[in-house]
Structure 1
Amino acid sequence: NKSAAEKHREMTDKVYSLMDSLRLNQLEHKKVEADNNNKTKKVLSVEKQLQGVQSRLNAEIDAKQAAEQSAREAIQEKNLTDKRMKQIEEESAACRKELQGVEQKLQELIERNRALDSQVHYLSARVEGQEEDKAQLRVESRKLEASMKEMGKERTSYQDRIGVLEERLHQTAVEKDQLRSELDYIKREDFLDETGRTRPLLIHSTESTLVDRLKLNEFLYRAQQGPNP
C-alpha cells in the first residue's frame, strides 16, 4: 500500500507538472498569437498606406502625363503664337514704312498743288495781254486745272490709304496684346515656367510618412526634370 501511495503521488505530481506546462504553453501560444495578430495588423496597415500612396502616385503620374500632353500642345500653340506675333511685327513695320512713304508723297503733292496755285495766279495776272496770249493762257490754265483735279484725286487716294494703314496698325497692336494674354494664360493653365518647362508635380500627404520615408517626391522630381518631349 505504501508503494502504491508513493506511485500515486508521483503520478499526481507528473499530472500537475504536465498541466502547468500545458498552461504555460497555452499562455505562450496566446502571447505569440497576439504578437502575430499585432504584426499582421501593422502589415495590413502598412499595405493599406502603400495602396493609398500607390493610388495617389498613379493619379499623379496620370496627371503628369496629361500635363505633359497639355504642355506639348501648349508649346505648339505658343510656337504658333510666337510665329504669328513675329508676322504681326513684320506687318506693322511694313505698314509704318508704307505709311511714311504715303505721307511723304502726300506732302510732295501738297507742295506741287501750292506751286500750281501760284502758277494759276501768275497766269491770271497776264490775261490782260493780247488775244494770242490769252488763248495760250487759257490752254495752259485748262492744263493746270486738269493737273490740279488729278492731284486732288491722288490726294484723296493717299489720305484713304493712310486711314487704312493706321487702322491696320491699330488692329495689329490689339492682336498683339491678345496674343500676349494668350501666352500668359497658356503658361498659367499648363503649369509652364518662364522657360516653357513643365513645373514638377509632387505628392503631399498628411496621413502617412511613407512619402518621406520612400523619398517618392525626390523620385518624381528627378523623373520630371528631363527635357519636355
Structure 2
Amino acid sequence: MLCIDSSGILCLSIIKIMEQQSNKNRIAGFYKDVVKFRKSELINDYVREDYIQHSPMGKDGREGLFEMVEFLKTLPIPAEDAKSPIVNIIGEGDYVVVHLDLLFMGKRTVLMELFRLQDGMAAEHWDITDEQTDNEPIINVDGAVNTTGLSNRTFITHLYSQFKKVAIHHMITDGDYVAVHAELKADKPIALFDIFRIEDKQITAHDFVKQTVPDKMMHNNGMF
C-alpha cells in the first residue's frame, strides 16, 4: 500500500479502516449465509473452532451454532427480498456490534450482539436479547450535549461515570456511533447494551437492550 507521508501514519490509518470494514463485512456475511439461509456447512468458514460463547443459551465452540442452525431450519426461510432485521453494524478494531430488530416466534425482539474477531473469524460472542416489554433505559442520557470538545468515546465514558453501579465492559466507536456493553451491579445483575448516535456534539438517537443475568447458562463463561 502506498504511504503518503514519511511517517506512515496515514497508511496505517487506511489499513485500520480497511480491516474494520472487512470485519464488518465478515459478520454481515455470517448473518446472510448461516443465519438467514441456514447454511450450516459454512460455519467453519466464519467461526473459529475455539469460539468462546457468552450468550446464556448457547454452547461453547461451533457446536452451539450448529444446533442453532438446525433449529432455524424448522422455521420458514425468509424471502430473498425480505427486509433485513439488521438495523446497524458498528465496528472498531477486532470488535463488531450488530443491532437487530426482528419478529421471532410471534414477538418483537431486539437483539444486540458483540463479536470479537481473530484473523477474520469470529472468536468470541456476547449478546443481549430484549422483548422490549419495558422501554425505559437504565442509562438515560438522551439529548446530552458534549460541550467540552471531548472525543465521543471520552464523552460517553464521562456520562456513564454518573451511574455508580454500572460497569463498562466494552465500548466500540464507529463514526457517529458509540456502542456500550455494560453491567448494572445489583442483587440480580442486569446486562446492558446501549448504542448512541452523536451528531453536532449532541446525542440524537439512543437504542438499548437489557437482560437480567440468568442464574444458569449453557457454559461457564458468564455474560461478560
Q: What TM-score does the superposition give when structure 2 sets the normalisation length? A: 0.19
Larger radius of gyration: 1
More helix by share: 1
Greater relative contact order: 1 or 2 (C-alpha under 8 angstroms, separation 6 or more)? 1
Q: What TM-score does the superposition give when structure 1 sets the normalisation length? A: 0.19
More strand by share: 2
